[in-house]
Amino acid sequence: MAAGCTRRTTLLAAGALLASATLRHAVAADRPVVRAGVLKFGTVSWELDTVRANGFDRQAGIDLQLVELAGNPATQVALQAGGVEIIVSDWLWVSRMRSKGEALCFIPYSTALGALVVPAQSAIAGIGDLRGKRIGVAGSPLDKSWLLLKALAADRHGLSLDRDAQPFFAAPPLLNSKIADGDLDAVLTFWPFAARLEAKGMRVTMTVSDMLEALGQPATVPSIGYVFREEWARANPAALAGFQAATNKAKTLLADSDAAWDRLAPLMQAEDDATFRTLRDRYRDGIPRRWTEEERAGAAKLYALLARLGGRELVGDAPAIAPGTFWTGGA
């Protein structure tokens, strides 16, 4: 990241932190404040807004405050600076930070992953058909889904997608626009953007979960989660327990009630009913059903694969997932 971008990210985060500090004085003294750093229109806001609107935080003995930030780097800055208690990120980042000496922890938020999407009438039926195709990839060459797709293409079809296809790395909104205009043959993107393409009639050729299963990896491991500082969790066990109870109630409500989604429509920015329903249904698909030692062992197995595929640029110097990455209750 360029130095200018880093400074701008830090300033934006700092401004939001000052605003959030003011809010702390307005809450009841007998309920701990839990500040969550969020993106205004991110999918996490759907769940946390549901918590606040239904009073699940108060019922759980906390006051949840949402601190809107400009992007994922800004949320990480805010957490590291102590300006928020919780953000959402993936466990790879948590493990990498722990390996550097910063004790962060992870609890599940979603198992939802991305997908490889093609136009409805495309002749692409599988990975073997990607030879020579223009593939839009959300993020960078180190995007985890791209690493998995490349591994599967090489393993099953002898394809080197870096050489045998034409990858184009960009932000998800730009990729959606380009494939709609016919400038790309396929897009590998994050689940909310894949859902929007699906709602427009495009076809999901393979999900990232499918790729994981094909590579012998667990497909139900939560991909992203709520991340917090271990020191805070140990000092504030009731606040963390309250946050978990409140978000679990929100998940249950959003899983079972269509009416609960109506008030979220402005946050979802769904331009039509088909997009609204697809986003809702894909969020529901990603609600974690289990979080046991089996899932944590699966994550460790997946880490080993990603470390081999992405190398030091992706995971740093740690060949295995850092102990303590997954919070299991403070034991």
pLDDT mean over 210-232: 93
Query: What residues contact residue 297 under an 8 Å CB cut-off, 6+ apart?
Result: none
Q: How far is CA 221 from CA 209, 264, 299, in A?
A: 10, 27, 6
pLDDT value for 155? 93
| pTM reported for the whole predicted model | 0.88
Please give the average per-residue pLDDT across 96-122, as a whole number: 96
Residue given tokens 């939560």 in the structure block:
222
pLDDT for 3-18, tens place per residue? 444 445 444 554 555 5
Residue 299, pLDDT above cutoff 80: yes
pLDDT for the residue 218? 87
Edge-first strand listing for the sheet containing 134-138: 166-170, 134-138, 186-189, 115-118, 203-207
Which domains, from first to last, does the chain contain? 33-111+221-315 (3.40.190.10), 114-215 (3.40.190.10)
Identify which of 244, 228, 217, 246 has the alpha carbon closest to the alpha carbon of residue 306: 217
Tell me which DSSP letter residue 130 carries. Answer: G
- pLDDT given for residue 15 in this prediction: 53
Distance of CA 79 to the CA centre of its chain: 16
Each residue's pLDDT tens digit, 37-87: 999 889 999 999 999 999 999 999 999 999 999 888 999 999 999 999 999
CA distance 307 to 217: 14
Name the amino acid, one letter, at 263: R
Cβ atoms within 10 Å of 176's Cβ, excluding its own: 23
Whether the pLDDT of residue 312 is over 80: the answer is yes
Q: What order do you get walking across the sheet with 87-90 strand by strand?
A: 87-90, 224-229, 104-110
Is pLDDT at 331 greater than 60 in this prediction? no
pLDDT in tens, 251-280: 999 999 999 999 999 999 999 999 999 999
Write down the pLDDT at residue 330: 56
Q: Please, what is the average pLDDT of the chain?
A: 90
- Write down the pLDDT at residue 27: 47
Reported as a single tens digit per residue, the pLDDT across 142-185 is 999 999 999 999 999 999 999 999 999 999 999 999 999 999 99
Pairing of strands 224-229, 166-170: unpaired
